[in-house]
Structures are given as structure tokens and as C-alpha cells.
Amino acid sequence: MVRKAVKRWEDNQITGIGRRNARTSFYKDSQKRMSLNGQWAFLYLDAPELSPEGFEQPGPQEGWDQIDVPSVWQLRGYDRMHYTDVLYPFPINPPYVPDENPTGIYKRTICLDEAWLEKDTVLKFHGVDSAFDVWVNGIHAGFGKVSRLPSEFDITELVKAGVNDLTVRVYKWSDGTYLEDQDMWWMSGIFRDVELINEEKNAILDVQVDGTLDDSYQTGLFTARITGKQPLKQAAWKLSYRGEMVASGEAFAKEAQICVNAELRDVHPWTAETPELYEFTVSTGTQEVTVRCGFRRIEIKDDNFRINGQVILLNGVNHHDYNPTEGRTVTREQMEADIRLMKQYNINAVRCSHYPANEYFYDLCDAYGLYVINEADLECHGFEWVENYTWITDDPAWEAMYVDRSVRMVQRDRNHPSIIMWSMGNESAFGCNFKSAAKAIRTLDDTRLIHYEGDFEAEVTDVYSTMYTRLKGLKEIAEYEVKGNKPHVMCEYGHAMGNGPGGLKAYQDMYRKYKRLQGGFLWEWYDHGIYTEEDGEIYYKYGGNYGDFPTNGNFCIDGILMPDRTPSPGMEEYKQIIAPVDITGVEGSMRKICISNDYDFLDLDAVTLHWEVVAEDVAIQEGWITDLAVAPHDSTVLTLPIAPFELQANTDYYINLTVCQKEDSLFAPAGHEIKKVQIPMQIRRDEFSVREAADPLRVSDRAGILTVENSLVKARFSTVFGKLLSFGTEDRDYLTEGPRMNVYRATIDNDMYKKEDWMNKYFLQKPVEETAYVNWEEEADRTVVRIGTYFSCYNQSWGFSCDYTYEIYSCGQMRVELQGKAVQRGKLEPEFFPRIGITMKADRKLQNTMWYGMGPGESYVDSKAASVMGIYKNTVDGMMTNYVFPQENGHREQVKWFRIGDGWDGLLCKMKAPLGLNLANYTDESLEQAQHPFAIEKADDVIIHLDYLHSGLGSNSCGEEQLEENKVKLQDFALAFTLQTVTDGSEIREARKQYIS
């Protein structure tokens, strides 16, 4: 049975009651305002029908609690936490919602004096989730919907001098909830600011400004429409740039709206790279307001969208409002910190996903310089799962709800030059209601583009938008005019869940290759973990940790910024990939470089270049180049002023290049790193060398244990199990278990669609290495132990025939070589392996690390742009990346040697050819089993992984798999390294002497 809608919060024909039309926000306003943020009385109920009689009337609130405004009540101990990506946590029966509809009643008093009452009173809510009623002094003042847009109510006739009672009843579920099914926690309450405005009787209600450019892109064309509550008889106006007035005048009108026009020659255009702002001020005698304006022109020309005539590339990120302790309540300080960090990481665009942000957010984007796709608060993704995706999207009965969300967004935010596109929503199919919304937007504003990914045929949108498109699909879009010739944008890609995303360079290369592809927006900015402190442990909860079901678990932990605001390795990678300056070496020259300017508007005289020549990790020459006059989209060849010097034959040499910001900016000081590049000058060929012989080796074979030893070295082998048991000295075992082959890694989030096969079909976590032979030869200064094994996993017909060779020298060194030959006896094998390599164990006390390889942070074959070759120090724990959801982490590519120790006492490992390195205080098995970092069981040893090959990361949690060239296939392999104990660091000092002297 379908019920008749009798409740305001279940009536899709109501978009609001008593609510004013949306209007632009002012940058400055002389009118008095009163913040209503703070402590309110609060009563939580399981349903609105359970509200106590007379709750809306003034009076004491006995038994009520206190709650912060703004806040979400789930993070104040009420209701239950619940995360879903797509699913509605109730039956789909629009516009109806469950009878169990958590409700919060808020109450407070407001004291107003007689002077206040001489003017009007407007009550403004900046954000309430999901619908609410308002009473003032017991009288109903209005009803609001759309969680992430303001609602204003004129309550002049309801207030009095003295104490006034304000009551707000908020409903968790409403018909609007069907349009607010975004991928995020379900949170409720008054989560943005509340304020009173003491409004003039003849107030300026709205100021709409538009700054565009003529065909020369040099002359600014300014228009303004000033709307008053009453006819504005006269208003003085001025337009200023950096405090200097550039135009002014007086306007007269008999109607409520005044129009102003001005033309400015040699205007300073607004772009994300040059965020030049003007201020437009209007004075009426009783009120003065200021709005900011930027002169820029958005157009589509020759199949590209352009800013000020220039084709631009969007290097963007999707941004949710989020705080790990406050949920959707974010402060101005956090908003600014987010935007400052985006700019520092070369991000030039942000998509407000999937709802309008706080008004202040756009002021910041204007000032700092970010291109914005502003998105309506609209997503009804859950309908896709019932195979009726267009249920309400193509139902005219819902037209008002759809159009209202787009219209109010445009009416509020139209003055911001940073906004270049209006997006009608996200993942809601396509139908008549989006056609109506697009028409309404164009009626209000024809200066910007319209975006909506769900318009799969690009029928009403100005850009063709897709999400998580694979590289093959992108190429087809670019080459074959898929969906016509509209410019293309990836509104979501590079899903940043856990360790990743990998493969970003392949996307960026594609964007730069094909003009039609104008960039994209990484998903997403911030991990949505909930800060938790329990039993002395700090960690971050995700879906399912509160008993919420159904849930998408840690799918909300998918940002490049970790909950504690630590930039992830993926964020470091993205910064380098999208950097607006690129440098490559010139073939045949060790001093010439090609520097490319990928800025759209800035000349490279805005940056400086620091160069240094390093011998492994020691700088032997360095300097600065400050004159880089390279035009946008141009390049030049420079000759670095490197003085002649002799390259030592046994030393690696690199040129390290760092592009830095020349002057202070709003987001970073002078010297801020924009891009770093390393160019090899000479790479040595590593050869094995043996130190001077010492006393002879003694060899014994007792009870299946083969021991090779003297005063400097001791190595023990099992002749039964065919493995090295330990390596060290007669006093100490540094290696507590020798190499065993390994093809498994603790799965990362981007392995989620491979995990089932890897673990339950191929059983990669269940290795078996069977002994084929063990023999040894004794020589004067060395003993050679050879072990043959066959490696595979449970119930598998594929495997590896392995030959281990151990050469133990009397000087204390041991050379290890492993040759593996792939064996395939059947047709079934994994499409690819996580890795091919070996695992060893070392004394748990060896916690200090040093390595020569890529660093300082983790690196993988498809995510290493932020790493350069060098010698780095850390601890074993310090090499770990502490992902919210534990998974493979901490790998370093191209390692030539590493050392672990306590003090100078330790173990040194030198590779014949570079290998991948991972050092950890836990096993892959414990990492796989843990759900949070504190639950990772510590191992009794240091776990050492040396990888011949390690598969890439990809972004297949939602997007592209690892590229074929980054997948480790069943194949032959060989690796070799030398182990030796060190007690005073002499080996490392000796290695450096060759270029320090």
C-alpha cells in the first residue's frame, strides 16, 4: 500500500516554506550580524511524532541535553554511525521515509534590544541535514530542505525586544534524502553556521557581478545588477583593484534593481595561476556591501573549453567537507589549510563533490587560485541497484526538487570567478529533470559551462564527462570523437584508496598528448576516517566499525590526505606528475637539459632552478639559475654551468634539479618546491669484490645442520629443509632465517578484485619450498653451499625451480645467488603475481636502517615520481606507511645496498643489480589480518623482502588495473647480493671515500 504524503518532510512538491530566494553572499557587509553558534538545548527522539507537546513554545527544557552548534549529532553520542557508498539504509519508496526517523530538537534564546528591532531580522542557516522546521516564539517561521545550501527566513514580525525563543526540529530522513545519497557517512544536524542578520529596511538584498573580457582578452567588461528590498533610488559604486579605485559612479533607478556597466582597458585577468581580484562596493547611505570580481572569459572554441583564450588542463581533486572529529562540520581555518595544501601540491582545480561547499570556500578558491566545478547537492545512486536508475530522475513530479538544487546553487555562488562549471549532480542517471535543471541554469547564467557525468550522451552538457575511464577508453574518446567533439573531462579517476593510486603518469601523459582531453579530478582529497582513542591507541574508524550494516567498509578511506592531515605517498606522487614544469636530459650531453613550461599563463620567470651534481649522496657542485624566461607551453634547452671534473669509474653520478617558487605567494614562501627531477650522469656497474682472507673456515655437518665458521663469520644451513638458518658471527646471529622465495604481498585496496583468486584459488599466501638437493665444496678461503628447491603454493601446477648458491668467505662475507626457472605444467596460473623475490629474517634489535636506492618515501614501479636515488636513513618502523587500513606498504625501488643495525653494529647487504626492498617489524600475514594499525601483530624478527620484481599499484579499487608492463608474470629470474656483518661503519665510510676526498 502506498501512503498519501501528509508530512512536509515527505512531500516532494515542497522545496521550502517561508524561505527566501537564494542570493549571493557578500564579501563585506556593513549590516550587523549575530552568530548563533554555541551551546543549544537538545532533545533527541526516534521519530518526529514523539516530540513532546508544546516543544516549540518558550519555556524550560527539563531533561534536555546540551549540544554544540554547528555539529553532527552522531559525533555527539546520539543515533548510530553508518557509512554506505551507494545504498540507502532504508527501503526505496519515494517520497516516503521510515517511521523510525531520528529527530533532533534544538532550542535557544536570543536577546534583542530596541535598536535591533528598528531594522528587520533575518535568520540564516548555512547547512542543516536533511530537513528542518523553525519556530520563533512558538510561531512557525518556515521549513527548509537541501542540506548543503543556506536557508534564510525573514522573522521580523515574530521577534520582540528582550528574550526570544528559537526552536529548530531537524529530521534525519526526508524526501530530500533520496537526492542526497552521496558516498559518505550518514550524518545529521545543524552542521554549518547559524546567524541573525540585522537587515536594513531598504537593504541591498543581492549584488550580481560579472567580469568578462573582450575578444582581445585585454579589456574587461564589467556588469553588476544590484537588487534592493525596496526600490533603490540612488546608490554610489566603485570598482577597486588592490585598494586603488579604477572606476566609480552613481546609479539611479525607480525599480528594485540597478544595473551598472563599466569597461576597463588593460585589465588584470583572473586565472588559477594569476588570481587577480577586483572589489565592487555599493553604498546606499544606510548600507555598504562589497563583492569580489575576477575578469575572465570562459568559452568553447575549436572543440576545447578555454579560459581567456587559452586551452587549460585541469589537474584537479574531488573535495568533500570533512573533519575526522567533527564530520561535515569544518572550520574556516581547515578550509584554508586544505586549499593552501592543494596549491602547494600543484593542484589547480577542485570539484565540490557532491554538493556546494561552505560560502567561504569559494572566497578562498578565488583568492588562492583554483578552478572550481561547483556541484548541486544531488545524488540518487541507490536507484541503480534496483535497476530503475531513472525512477525519480525522469519523473516530472520531482522536477521542482531537481531544479531547486541547481538554481539555488547558481544564485548563491554566481559571483565567484573561480567557478568555471556548474555541475547538476552526480550518479543519478539522466532524464527530464536534468534537462529542466540545465535550462534553468542557462537562464540564470550563460557565462559558464554545464557539467554532469550522468548525461552519458552529452545531450545538455557543454563537456563530455566520464569517471574511472580506462586508458584504452580515453584514447578512443580522443581519437574517434566518441560522443561528438565536446571537450572531455574525467570528473573522477585515480581512486586513492589505501596504497596508491599508481599509474597516474600514464593518465597525465594521455592528457598532454590529446588536446580534447582536458584533465581530470583525482578521487579524492581526504580519508573519511573517524578519530578514535581507545585503550591508549589512536586510530581511525571506517564503515562497519560501529556495527553498521550494510556498509562499504573502508571504501571511505580513499583520499590522498590521511585523516591526521599527513600527505600520502599518492599525494606526493600526484604533485610531481602534475607539476607545471618538466625537465628532461638531452641525449648525448651531461650538461644540457630541456625545460618545459606547462603553465597555461605564467612565464617561467616566476620560478628558479636549483641544480646539484651528486656522487651518490654527496653534492660536489651546485648552483642556481634564476633567469628562466620560457613562455607558457614552450620549452628551451639550457646548459648547466657544471665545471669539468673527473668521473670516478666506480661511482654513480646524478644531476638533481629542483624547481622552486621565486617569490612569496599566498600559499607558500619563496623557495617552495614545485618539481624535482633526477638525471643520471653515470651509473656504475657493481662488481663483487672480496676482502683480504682471514683464518680458515671450519665446516661441520651434524644432525642435519651444516655449519661454516671462523672468527669473523658463522653460517648455519639445514640440509633437511634446504635453507640458510642463520648468518652472523660466532657471538651473534644477525640473519635469523635465510632467503625463501616469495610471490605474495599483503593485499592492497587496489588488489581487491584479485585478492579472491590470489588467496583462495592460487593460495599465494601458502608457499611451499621443497628441497631437491644440498651439496657443498670446501676451498682455501671459501666454502660454496648449493641448494636446489622447488617452489609453489597449495594445489598448484605452476612453480619455480630454484638454485641457491651461497659463497662463504673467510673474510666474513657471504655471496648469495638465486636463479629461478619458471615451471608451468598446467593451464592455470595467476594472471600476474604480486611480486617475485625472497624473504629473510633478521635480529629484532637491528632497527636502524640505511639504504642506497630510491627514497625517501615508499616507491613502486608505477608510483615513484616523488622518489630519487640517494642514501637515506630511517628506522624499520619509520619505513612503514601507516595506512588507516593495513596493507602492503614501505617498498623502495632500485636499492643497491642497505644496512640494518643497532648503532654501528649491524648487517650490510650489497646487491649485484638493484632490487626492491621492504623492511618491516611484521609479517605479510599479520598485515593481511589486521583491520587497524594497532592490531598488526609484531614479529619476533625484522622481516626483509628483496624483490626481483614487484607489481604496480594501479587504482583498481575503482578504476584502472596495473598496466601490463607493471604486472609480474610467471617468468625466469635471477638475483644476487652479498651479506657481511659490520661493527664500526667502516664499509660504508670506505664506499664514500672515493668521492669525498
Contacts of 751 (CB under 8 A, 6+ apart): 758, 834, 956
| Beta-bridge partners for 251 | 235
Alpha helices (H) in 201-331, listed in sequence order = none
How, if at all, do strands 131-136 and 162-171 pair?
Answer: antiparallel
Given the residues 492, 572, 573, 961, select the one marked as catalytic.
Answer: 492
Contacts of 667 (CB under 8 A, 6+ apart): 339, 340, 343, 344, 368
Given the residues 180, 199, 399, 427, select the one marked as catalytic.
Answer: 427
**Of 581, 573, 539, the residue nearest 557 (C-alpha):** 539
CA dist 766 to 205, 798, 888, Å? 70, 14, 17
- Give the phi and the psi of residue 593 in degrees, each rounded to 5: -130, 155
Quick check: 776 and 783 in contact, CB under 8 A? yes
Q: Is 770 in the active site?
A: no
Segment holding 117, helix H or strand E: helix 114-117
Quick check: 103 and 172 in contact, CB under 8 A? yes
Amino acid identity for residue 780 in this structure: A
Contacts of 119 (CB under 8 A, 6+ apart): 198, 199, 200, 201
Residue 459 to residue 717: CA distance in whole angstroms: 71
Residue 423 to residue 437: CA distance in whole angstroms: 10
**Of 40, 34, 59, 193, the residue nearest 117 (C-alpha):** 34
- Give the phi and the psi of residue 646 in degrees, each rounded to 5: -90, 125
- Tell me the residue length of the chain: 997
How, if at all, do strands 464-467 and 488-493 pair?
Answer: parallel
Reading the block at residue 323, the C-alpha cell is: 573533519
How, if at all, do strands 868-875 and 892-902 pair?
Answer: unpaired
Cell 574511472 sits at which residue?
A: 468
**Of 911, 971, 975, 969, the residue nearest 948 (C-alpha):** 975
Quick check: 764 and 834 in contact, CB under 8 A? yes
- Quote the crossing angle between the two packed helices 569-577 and 504-513, to the nearest 10°: 20
- Residue 262 has, within 13 A of its CA and on its CB side, a CA count of 25
Sign of CA dihedral 448, 454, 459, 465: positive
**Of 647, 634, 627, 638, the residue nearest 677 (C-alpha):** 638
Residue 888 to residue 745: CA distance in whole angstroms: 6
- Tell me if residue 420 falls in helix, strand or coil: strand
Quick check: 477 and 483 in contact, CB under 8 A? yes
Rg of the chain on CA atoms, in Å: 33
Q: Is 492 in the active site?
A: yes
Q: What region, left, alpha or beta, does residue 148 occupy, with left being phi > 0 and alpha being psi -120 to 50 degrees? A: alpha
Just list the catalytic residues: 427, 492
